[in-house]
């Protein structure tokens, strides 16, 4: 949800959230709705995709560690 806003608005929102627990709670509650929404609309990817993704990740160089 937080990326429906501009960077400036987000910074203001985060600053307010850190000062006001009720605003933080509200943001979390909205995010929770979207999380539940995503869970409710889960779609299992094809079985072989996991292996593909893992070999792709292994090829990917870790930027720095």
**Residues within the interface to another protein (CB under 8 A):** 1-4, 14, 28-46, 49-50, 52-54, 56-57, 60, 62-63, 65
Whichever of 8 and 65 has its CB closer to another protein, that residue is: 65
Residue in the structure block whose two tokens are 């509650």: 29
- Write the CA distances from 37 to 25, 34, 43, integer angstroms: 18, 5, 12
Provide the minimum distance between the beta carbon of 57 and another protein in the complex, in angstroms, as a whole number.
Answer: 5
Residue 7 to residue 35: CA distance in whole angstroms: 22
Provide the minimum distance between the beta carbon of 28 and another protein in the complex, in angstroms, as a whole number.
Answer: 7
């Amino acid at each position: 949800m937080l990326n429906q806003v501009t960077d400036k608005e987000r910074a203001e929102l985060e600053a307010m959230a850190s000062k006001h627990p009720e605003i933080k709670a509200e943001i979390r509650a909205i995010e929770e709705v979207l999380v539940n929404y995503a869970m409710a609309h889960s779609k299992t990817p094809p079985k072989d995709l996991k292996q593909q993704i893992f070999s792709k990740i292994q090829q990917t160089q870790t930027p720095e560690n």
